[in-house]
Amino acid sequence: MSENATNKNASNDEIDLLDLFRRMGRTISEWLNALGRAFLISIVFLLKRWIPLGLSIALGVGASYLLKFSSDSSFSSDLVLRSNVVSNSDMISYINRLHTYCTDANTLALSDAISLPSKQLNNIIDISAYWIIDKGRDGIPDYVDYANKASVTDTVNVRMQDRLNIMVKIKSPQELGIVSASIEKYIEKDSLFQQRNRVRLRQNGEMLARLSYDIVQLDSLQKVKYFEETRSMLPKNGQQMIFLQEQKTQLMYQDIQNLYIKKQALEADRDLYKKIVTVLSEFSIPSKRENGGSFYAKKIIPIFFIITLLILILLANRKRLEEVYRKY
């Protein structure tokens, strides 16, 4: 009796699964048919009303070019700086004060910061500082993090610590050289940066003097050691000459070489990076304006098209909407 009941339950389970799969198949088929009908209806709807939709695109193109010719030109260019005194994070924060002045339209603070007359100041739209990202930690700059999305904890795509990027948006690209000089003056006139730079250069000079002294002392010591070891190898009273390895003398030569390498690095730092910042790459004159016709068209044409499409849908379903309105 129990065996018959078990077989019956198993048979019922198989029937239930088959019925479930059939229902799922029917549901999926109905959804696909509905999507197909909706797609065909949409295509036919758009084809029947191609004239107003085409006019909306044409109006969007016309409005884009109207905005292009009626608005001020906007150009953007990038400058790469090396901060010799403070960390990149501190320098980016300091330069982005100018960005705050630009967004707040605080012309008085901006004029006082970069020391430009109002006529030239009106050409500046924005000044911002960004991190430069090194993908793969190969020491080669790959891209600028304009969106500020690079993670500090990312160990593969890292923020470069020896350079930063400054982007300037301006109405007249011919004045980029003046803006570059003004940004440098803005950084160089900071009193705290000046004090730190003086301390850095003084410590650099002290270290160079010490390295030069150590090199002379090691060189003299190496000569003394060499002659002492050579004298000890000379035969005495007709004895045979004994050759010894000059291990300590060789190690001392390596020490002198390491000191020379450190000295050369400090001399390069002193001669190449005397100022608070060093310009690694100047602004380049952009070939075309940033807010051209395509800049506005990407936004305006979709807006015109969607508004026209919504109006056409409402007109096509006007009777149904009236019935629903009357009913409720």
Could you give the CA distance from residue 120 to residue 296 in angstroms, rounded to a whole number? 26
What pLDDT score does 124 carry? 92
Alpha-carbon Rg of the chain, whole angstroms?
A: 38
Give the whole-number percent of the chain exceeding pLDDT 90: 42
Per-residue confidence band for 49, with pLDDT thresholds at 50, 70 and 90? confident
Give the mean pLDDT of the chain: 84
Query: Token digits for 38?
Result: 């909706």
Q: How many CA atoms lie within 13 A of 266 on its CB side?
A: 19
Average pLDDT over residues 259-269: 88
What pLDDT score does 168 carry? 95
Least confident interval from 13-27, 47-61, 266-280: 13-27
181, with CB counted inside 10 A (0-12, 13-18, 19+), is middle
What pLDDT score does 278 carry? 93
Q: Is pLDDT at 270 greater than 70 in this prediction?
A: yes
Per-residue confidence band for 4, with pLDDT thresholds at 50, 70 and 90? low
Per-residue confidence band for 152, with pLDDT thresholds at 50, 70 and 90? confident
> What pTM was computed for the model?
0.71
Per-residue confidence band for 307, with pLDDT thresholds at 50, 70 and 90? very high
Query: Token digits for 7?
Result: 């077989």
Average pLDDT over residues 75-92: 94
Q: Is pLDDT at 184 greater than 90 in this prediction?
A: yes
Torsion of CA 43, 46, 50, 53, to 10 degrees: -140
Could you give the CA distance from residue 246 to residue 146 in angstroms, rounded to a whole number? 58
Q: 78-116 burial, b for 16+ CB within 10 Å, e for fewer?
A: bbbbbbbbbebeebbebbbebbebbeeeeeeebeebbeb
Query: Token digits for 171?
Result: 């109405």
How is the chain split into domains, by residue range?
A: 2-69+307-313, 72-190, 194-275
User: Of residues 80 and 22, which shows the higher confidence score?
Assistant: 80
Average pLDDT over residues 64-73: 88
CB atoms < 10 A from the CB of 323, how many? 11
User: Do residues 180 and 282 lie in contact, with contact meaning Cβ atoms separated by under 8 Å?
Assistant: yes
Average pLDDT over residues 93-101: 95
**What are the backbone angles phi and psi of residue 204, rounded to the nearest 5°?**
-60, -45
User: Of residues 307 and 319, which shows the higher confidence score?
Assistant: 307
Per-residue confidence band for 247, with pLDDT thresholds at 50, 70 and 90? very low
Could you give the CA distance from residue 94 to residue 3 in angstroms, rounded to a whole number? 84
Per-residue confidence band for 317, with pLDDT thresholds at 50, 70 and 90? confident
Q: Is pLDDT at 1 greater than 70 in this prediction?
A: no
Give the whole-number percent of the chain exceeding pLDDT 70: 85
What pLDDT score does 2 carry? 52
